[in-house]
Homo-oligomer: A and B are copies of this chain.
Amino acid sequence: MNRLTIKDIAAHFNVSISTVSKALNDSYEISKSTKLKIQEYAKEHNYKPNFNALSLKKRQTKTIGVIIPNMLNYFFAQVFKGVEKEANKSGYKVITCISNESFDKEVETIEMLSNGSIDGFLLSIAEQTEEQNNFVHLTKTLEQGLPIVMFDRVAKDVDCDKVITNDFEGAINAVDHLAKTGCKHIAFISTQSHLKSGKERELGYLEGLKKRNMEINPNLVIHIFEEDYKQYERILLPYFEENHIDSVITTDESSAIAAMKIAQRKGHTVPDDFSVISFSNGIIARHSSPKLTTVSQHGEIMGETAAKMLIDKIENKNTSEASVTKVIQTDLVERNSTRI
């Protein structure tokens, strides 16, 4: 039950394997008639050139490796969808690994795939990696000549192509929208202690307030641990008791929901006298009541963009231009947790 090879075809027609090879590649060296009969035979018998032989010979695999911190995260699932689509469009396969936010897993995965399995990496670094600020595994693979394109969670000091979200401006826009619709006391809730995107959003929040000459109250900047998601409400409650808050921007949907519930329990009506905007335009936002206004990060587009950049890099190995980083703008998706 072994696969058909060019050797088999050659034997069947009593020609040499190179004739078969050339015929299948439609070489001008081969006569029309033999090309035709060989191609037909190949098609009929469902011949497929052996992937590993091809890769070995051509020194390229037409596959890329993607390392994603967490596939249960809707945003990353969207990114992956974009990657898969774009890769397939260019005839690339994608080997997918989940780092589970673990530095070790990230390193192991890179090790495992740096043996000729793939032509390049797409990578969003694990939270632990960002925390430890250790990127030698990345610089080493770049030195080996394996291109990397980072997306979303990016190591500033590693010199490679990148695709990021404009978190800073996304937050400014969120503040703007709240201010425009009459909010005066905007709190900021962040669950992303170690991630740069969390900091960018916080800076954007502050910048947004500054731009509008609104009071900056440090008590309204709240950091909570993601691990505590079951107790968000309990953790947030005191902040709402001790401060006058009429609106909130959160870095994730869960805490937006929690904040909304607290506000409601305290007698507020969302959005009439309390507004909320959440980063991460996921599924939750569409199913809460009221539905959440969110800052959308366009995960799928980010995935497509990153994949395209990587494939371009792979296929123009020669031209070693400087690294570029593309910025994906955010959109404010207005739903029912903010006023018009």
Interface residue ranges, A against B (CB under 8 Å): 1, 3, 48-53, 55-56, 61, 63, 71-72, 74, 77-78, 80-81, 84-85, 88, 93-98, 112-117, 143-145, 253-254, 257, 261, 282-284, 287-289
**Cβ-neighbour of A93 out of B53, B113, B253, B257 (below 8 A):** B113
CB pair A77 B71 closer than 8 Å: yes
Q: In the bound complex, what is the Cα–Cα distance between A288 and B285 (angstroms)?
A: 10
User: How many copies of the shown chain assemble into the complex?
Assistant: 2
- Return chain B residues, CB-CB under 8 Å to A94: 95-97
Contact A84 B112 (CB under 8 A): no
User: In whole Å, how far is A283's beta carbon from the nearest beta carbon of chain B?
Assistant: 6
Are A287 and B253 in contact, with the CB atoms below 8 A?
yes
Given A95-B63, A96-B94, A98-B81, decide whether A115 and B71 contact each other with a Cβ distance below 8 A: no
Contact A50 B115 (CB under 8 A): yes
Output the nearest chain B residue to A258 by Cβ-Cβ distance: B287
A78, A116, A145 — which one has the most chain B CB atoms within 10 A of its CB? A116
B84 and A97 contacting across the interface, CB-CB below 8 Å: yes
A300 (CB) vs chain B CBs: closest residue:
B72
Residue of B with least CB distance to A117: B51
Q: What are the residues of chain B within 8 A of A3 when measuring CB–CB?
A: 116, 144
